[in-house]
A = this chain, B = another copy of it.
Amino acid sequence: MIDRNVYEEVSQAPIGVFDSGVGGLTVAREIMRQMPKERIIYFGDTARVPYGTKSKETVTRFSKQIARFLQSHQVKTIVVACNTASAYAIEDLEAELDIPVIGVVKPGARMAADVTRNGKIGVIATEGTIGSGLYSKYIKSLREDATIYGKACPLFVPLVEEGLWEDPVTVEIARRYLTELIDLDIDTLILGCTHYPLIRSTIGSIMGEGVTLVNPAYETAVALKKLLAEKNLLNEVTPPLGSNPYQFYVSDGAEKFKQFANSIIKYGILSAKTINIEEY
């Protein structure tokens, strides 16, 4: 446990980011790019990944454990980088925590509502995220006349994790998933799972140039910066050299995580530690 007074100011405390596994690193990467002075504590629940096929109750219980772990590291805010956890658990987390919480669903929904011209928006995500209907609810609250078409794409995560990013098999599976969205004449598509931006070019080439792809990871970093600024929580002090501003924790397989993570984040992941999340 870290000492309560380790940071001079709350604004210097780290941002907590969590995901079911490695996918949330695409969100962490955007935060690093857009807010280079911020410290980050990342947690990937690699012992219990994936979340996308699991129930609301279970994903919420897991998310609360992780929030307790992150709070034990004095985070000033928590970013729920996992779409499924954002869809299922964000309201429970907001009710329980006394620090700001931000998920990836709302920022992604807002951008989609902004950029669509014909009001027809597709969402591709896990079974859980689609089933929750949360993207649809948020977009509707911003743009009443929008029509939202959700499509669960359960094979994308294993295909991405196998590294088949531009493989004919991935193209074939993507074509099957996406054809109905093309037929429905959508002009905007939300990549509603943190793994999907990694096969953005495959998805983009199938959807064609007329369809705008929205990446919630990027939009979340933008929204987070705004939120921290409003609450005077932006860190103005560059962490001292050698202080290791980025810390990574997982519930299983730290070494394997480190390898995958280093292929996504080029800032250098010094180390990753395994903890028993069930104890939180």
On whether the beta carbons of B47 and A58 are closer than 8 Å, the reply is yes
Chain B neighbourhood of A55, CB < 8 A: 252-253
Does A155 lie at the interface of the complex (its beta carbon under 8 Å from any beta carbon of B)?
yes
Q: Are B154 and A158 in contact (CB under 8 A)?
A: yes
Classify chain A: how many residues form its interface, as a range: 20 to 34
How many copies of this chain?
Answer: 2
Contacts of A276 in B (CB 8 A): 61
Q: A173 contacts which of B161, B169, B252, B253 (Cβ < 8 Å)?
A: B169
Chain B residue with Cβ nearest A278: B278
Residues of B within 8 A of A54 (CB): 46-47, 252-253
Chain A positions 169-195 with a Cβ under 8 Å from a chain B Cβ = 169, 172-173
A251: chain B residues at CB < 8 Å are 58
Chain B residues whose C-beta falls within 8 Å of the C-beta of A173 in the assembled complex: 169
- A252 contacts across to B, CB distance below 8 A: 54-55, 57-58
Give A168's nearest chain B residue, CB to CB: B172
Output the least CB separation between A83 and chain B (Å): 18
The smallest C-beta distance from A279 to any residue of chain B, in angstroms, reads 9
Q: Which residues of A243-264 are within 8 A (CB) of B?
A: 251-253
Nearest Cβ in chain B — how far from A193, in angstroms?
A: 14
* A264–B262 CA distance with the chains assembled, in angstroms: 41
On A, residues with C-beta under 8 Å from B are: 46-48, 53-55, 57-58, 61, 154-155, 157-159, 161-162, 168-169, 172-173, 251-253, 276, 278
Please, could you name 25 A-B residue pairs with CB atoms under 8 Å apart, sorted by A?
Answer: A46-B54, A47-B48, A47-B54, A47-B58, A53-B253, A54-B252, A54-B253, A55-B252, A55-B253, A58-B251, A58-B252, A58-B253, A61-B276, A154-B158, A154-B161, A155-B158, A155-B159, A155-B162, A157-B158, A158-B158, A168-B172, A169-B169, A169-B172, A169-B173, A278-B278
